Amino acid sequence: MSADVRLLDAGFAPGAEIAAFTARHADAGGVVSFIGQVRGGEDVEALELTHYAPLTLPGMEALAEAALARWDLAGLLVIHRVGEMAPGAAIVLVAAASRHRRAAFEAADYVMDHLKSDSWFWKRERRGGVWHWIEPRGADQADRARWD
Amino acid sequence: MVRLVFLGRLADVAGAGEILAAAGPLAEVIARLPADLAVALRAPRVRVAVNGAVLAPGAAPLLAEGDEVAFLPPVSGG
């Protein structure tokens, strides 16, 4: 079983991806999915994610392999956007399929925690026409440290 | 020459996403840059990758002709 890991520079439809993933793993007992999208409000006009090609996708693939080694999964889907996005646009989708639900919940949680604060992405928001770089919150670091 | 790549907020400090610089020890290459950029690149939370391999903190590589050096500030994905 290998994971489906993608780094996209254009928008994607999380619902269609989840439907296709679920259909591919029709024999799994459960599918857990998480969609991260650009937060609205707080005057955020746009979000931009940048990456470094030699590291970012290889790092995502290594993260997926680590999740597969740690939990007994039937399938794992990891999609992450880069580029400029408007509020409401999907940034990230993680879906895990497994025979029993606990592995799928935990694997999706693990992958998200590592994408937030341990993967090669840089994020900035435009508010009032000015770009502001976003650093991970202490809570994000603490979430990731739960898995060490 | 070596290619220096600046990610995240470091690109703002550098005024460009990448520049070319003369080869040499990493510390010397950094020291030849404008002072504000050199200070930003030496920050303890900035990681360095040479030709796609992330170095251990504090590593002091000798940069050769054609190397690509990336300066990686704290990340934020998702």
| Contacting A residues, span 99-128, partner chain B, CB-CB under 8 Å | 112, 115-124
Specify whether domain A4-145 bears CATH 3.90.1170.40.
yes
| Contacting B residues, span 10-39, partner chain A, CB-CB under 8 Å | 12
Domain residue limits, chain A:
4-145
Where residue B27 sits, what CATH number does that domain have?
3.10.20.30
Residue in B with minimal Cα distance to A60: B77
Q: Is residue B10 part of a domain?
A: yes
Q: Residue B65 belongs to what domain range?
A: 2-72
Instruction: Supply the ipTM of this predicted assembly.
Output: 0.94
Question: Chain A: nearest CA to B35, how far in angstroms?
Answer: 21
Of chain A, the percentage scoring pLDDT greater than 70 comes to 100
Instruction: Convert B23-44 to b/e letters by CB count within 10 Å (16 or more is b).
Output: eeebeebbeebeeebeebbeee
**Tens digits of residue pLDDT in A74-130:** 999 999 999 999 999 999 999 999 999 999 999 999 999 999 989 999 999 999 999
**Tens digits of residue pLDDT in B31-40:** 999 999 999 9
Q: Rounded to an integer, what distance in angstroms lies between the CA atom of residue A7 and that of residue A58? A: 10
Q: Is residue B43 part of a domain?
A: yes
Q: Is residue B77 part of a domain?
A: no
- Please give chain B's pLDDT, 78 residues, in tens: 999 999 999 999 999 999 999 999 999 999 999 999 999 999 999 999 999 999 999 899 999 999 999 999 999 888
Q: Is residue B78 part of a domain?
A: no
Could you tell me the pTM of the whole model?
A: 0.94
Number of domains in chain B: 1
Q: Which residues pair with B72 in a beta bridge?
A: B47
